[in-house]
Amino acid sequence: VVISIASGKGGTGKTTIAVNLALSLNDVQLIDCDVEEPNCHLFLKPQIEKRFPVGIATPEVDESRCDYCGKCAEACQFKALAVIKGSVLHFSELCHGCGACSYICPQKAIEEKVREIGIILIGKAGDIEFINGLLNIGEPMAVPIIRKEKGLIDRRKTVVIDVQPGTSCPVVVAVRGTDFCLLVTEPTPFGLNDLKIAVEMVRKLSVPLGVVVNCSDIGDRKVWDYCNRENIPILTEIPWDRRIAEAYSRGIPLIEEMPDHKEKFRLLYNQIEAIIEGTIPKSIAQTKN
């Protein structure tokens, strides 16, 4: 089973859920796809065994061959090339490394050079196989790293993917093709607003979804009302607890600090599995106590 853990906005406790779910199960692969700000390693303290760079192909124009016909710029659907006044400009922050420009160039004036955009670290945290993508600072292209990480998914294991917050392209790539997406939210107006956007995205990807409400005893009931209306299961609720916040700030996983929560995470997993297998209906949304 491959479970993606996402959230419409940052700071909802998504990484806490990912790390503690992974720690509560056996035979787990945890993939941190929040490549701009990966945090799982802070709690898992893994032993890194392998690391390898991730690069994307970047076009380099040999101006001695180029006749400035402009065909490369026309072919680039990402507007990463412009041909003006006898020169070819390349905007690397827009380039997806698709190779269309070098393929189309009639003069064979474009060569593809690999530009390193980040690294992938592979290691162990206890029994957990840990994979961590890390984007170079200032590098805008997270997607190629996430694709590489997802290429390492081992479907014989339970796979937990920590997805970056929001609903941008890297989030779509990380969630697409997973068996279930867990959306972590808080019962606040911002939390609800971002949850709605995230639900829309996950539904477009046809990935079954459920919600975890963190800090469930603050705010109002609107998240519950929304989930009930939309037939979205709320699979667990975690009330605000000072000990959780303190453990987080010290880099200690919640279930180490409060071991009674381990059962809660196991139950969460069982519910996800049952929904995927169709043995319990999706409409099991709980109401706030």
Sole window of 102-110, 241-249, 256-264, 280-288 interacting with ligand SF4 (rule: CB under 6 A) = 102-110
- Best CA proximity match to 158, nearest among 184, 127, 132: 127
| Nearer to ligand SF4 (CB atom), residue 69 or residue 276 | 69
Considering only residues 27, 37, 67, 217, which one is a binding residue for ligand SF4 as defined by CB under 6 A? 67
Does residue 144 touch ligand SF4 according to CB under 6 A? no
Distance of CA 39 to the CA centre of its chain: 12
Sole window of 30-38, 61-69, 141-149, 183-191 interacting with ligand SF4 (rule: CB under 6 A) = 61-69
Does residue 66 touch ligand SF4 according to CB under 6 A? yes
Residue 114: CB minimum distance to ligand SF4, A: 12
DSSP string of 236-269, one letter each residue: EEE---HHHHHHHHTT--HHHH-TTHHHHHHHHH
Yes or no: say if 90 and 83 are a contact pair by the CB < 8 Å rule. no
Residues whose CB falls within 8 Å of the CB of residue 13, separated by 6 or more in sequence, listed in order: 7, 184, 186, 212, 214, 215, 238
Considering only residues 61, 173, 201, 234, which one is a binding residue for ligand SF4 as defined by CB under 6 A? 61
Query: What sign does the dihedral 104-109-114-115 (CA atoms) show?
Result: negative
Does residue 143 touch ligand SF4 according to CB under 6 A? no
| Nearer to ligand SF4 (CB atom), residue 103 or residue 240 | 103
Q: Which amino acid is at 102?
A: S
| Nearer to ligand SF4 (CB atom), residue 63 or residue 256 | 63
Query: What sign does the dihedral 202-131-155-43 (CA atoms) show?
Result: negative
Q: Do strands 234-238 and 209-214 pair parallel, antiparallel, or not at all (unpaired)?
A: parallel
Does residue 141 touch ligand SF4 according to CB under 6 A? no
Residue 233: CB minimum distance to ligand SF4, A: 40
Residues in the site for ligand SF4, rule: CB under 6 A?
A: 59, 61, 66-72, 75-76, 78, 80-81, 83, 88, 95-101, 105, 107, 109-110
